[in-house]
Amino acid sequence: MLRLICKRLSLVKPTASPITHGFSLSSSFIRPMSELSSSNDRQTFTVSYLQNSCGLSHNSAIVASKKLLFENSEQPDSVLELLRGQGLTKSQIEKIIVTRPQLLEADLENTLRPKMEFLESLGFSGASMVNLLTKEPRVLDCDLVDSVQLFRAHGFSNEQIKALTIKRASLHFYNVNNTVKKLEYFKFMGFSDEDIARIVSSEPYILERSLENQIIPCIEVLKRVLGTDDNVRKVIKACYWILEYNLEKMLVPNISLLKSHGVPEDLIVKLFTTHPRTLLLRSQKFNEILAKVVELGFKPNTLLFVLAIRSMAVMSKALWEKKVETYKSFGLTKDQVDLAFKLQPMCMLTSEKKIKKVMHFLIDKLNMEASMICKNPNLLMLSLEKRLIPRSSVLQLLISSGFLKKDVNIIYYLRMTEPIFVEKLVRKHMKALPEVVSAHEGKVGMHIGAGSFKECFTCSILDLRLIPVKGGQESDGHL
């Protein structure tokens, strides 16, 4: 019987078993020793190459070698030569290879070089190419041509595509359908292709946001607050990144607070459409600013009220105090600085450098009292080179030539609108005194000393209803 059992067992063929006395043997692991040796040699060579030619540490080289294996240096040498040809340093190449070691095996002539050349056609070269490849080497892996063609089809220029790529190269890896849906939604909102290209190239992060969960809800809040699609477009054009905010949490409470203080809705809309970030402050800071504006005595139903909020909203307390100290360095008191701010809130937006230059000119050259300047703070909004100096030169020339009487009110002429000043003082006298044109163009210097100005000019407080806006022009009080 025993002999029969043994005979039968000898006829049973061995099969692969998952567990055999504590270990398993699979046919897939049974490889010739020569093949195992070859694989080990390739890994050893790859690790050594990554260390010696690419600058990787031993551990980084081991990790990278698991993603690629090569037997000789011909292919990776060619890739490294291409990267060095773009101006990449050894440390930058190391960073790229650590991130994307597979690039060393990329098809040089059919893939890698054409993509480099395509990037160059978009304007990438030198430092910009280096920065892009170091920051996002995946652009050499993705289907860059199709992605770029998509943006071009929606009106993006090469320059705008380059700007978008520098800021957010990962957009080239995103789902094409999602990108198209967002671009088409903006077009549905009434934005032109030119508008969309400008917005997205300036703030490409918008395309990373969910259309259903972020962009559309933001647009709906803006419509509710602003009333019209036109106002919505104005706000987005003035503040591209507004679509990345939680507007229900940040915007709506601040608007409700303004309304509770009696600020008319039309002034709120004007403030928001011209300077959206003012109403996107955190509630605590916005409350502090509003309390300060009320404390200073601004009336909520006036334009000055919202201008004061705007001026305080864009500055830290430290910068505000620094500018106050700058004004005080010319002999003004805190109360006088507050007076200037109440008459023209935008005067605090003037940079410290400009405050010093304009104050020095008005005091040292025009012999104006600092107290008079704080009562005419609009002067601080005017350009020194384009307005104050040229007009002062024109007045000095006309007075010294006898075309104007002495004791003219210089503040009146400095604040006069440009068309009226040109008509009354330049064109009127240009035939008899051609130099007046050069003086108005800033080509004729002021020749009389500071002490002489007291005899030529007088200063008085003028009607402050006209509020200067950007560029030194006058407006009728609109934002």
Regarding pTM above 0.85, the answer is no
Tens digits of residue pLDDT in 300-353: 999 999 999 999 999 999 999 999 999 999 999 999 999 999 999 999 999 999
Tens digits of residue pLDDT in 403-460: 988 878 889 999 999 999 999 999 999 999 999 999 999 887 655 443 444 455 555 4
Please say if the pLDDT value at position 37 is more than 90: no
Secondary structure (3-state) at 14: coil
Largest CA distance in the chain: 144
Q: How confident is the model at residue 68 (pLDDT cuts 50, 70, 90)?
A: confident
* Domain boundaries, given as residue ranges, for the chain: 39-136, 382-462
The mean predicted confidence, pLDDT, of the chain is 84
36: left (phi over 0), alpha (psi -120 to 50) or beta: alpha
Q: How confident is the model at residue 39 (pLDDT cuts 50, 70, 90)?
A: low
Q: What is the mean pLDDT of residues 206-235?
A: 94
Q: What is the pLDDT of residue 470?
A: 37
Most confident of 31-35, 38-42, 172-176, 371-375: 371-375
Evaluate whether 380 touches 350 at the Cβ level (below 8 Å). yes
- Cα–Cα distance measured from residue 221 to residue 232, given in angstroms and rounded to the nearest whole number: 10
Q: How confident is the model at residue 1 (pLDDT cuts 50, 70, 90)?
A: very low
Instruction: Please choose, from the candidates 214, 266, 271, 272, the residue with its C-alpha nearest in 3D space to the C-alpha of residue 243.
Output: 214
Q: What is the mean pLDDT of residues 216-235?
A: 93
High-pLDDT (> 90) share of the chain, %: 57
Q: How confident is the model at residue 75 (pLDDT cuts 50, 70, 90)?
A: confident
Evaluate whether 281 touches 313 at the Cβ level (below 8 Å). yes
Q: What is the pLDDT of residue 143?
A: 83
Instruction: Please choose, from the candidates 198, 192, 271, the residue with its C-alpha nearest in 3D space to the C-alpha of residue 231.
Output: 271
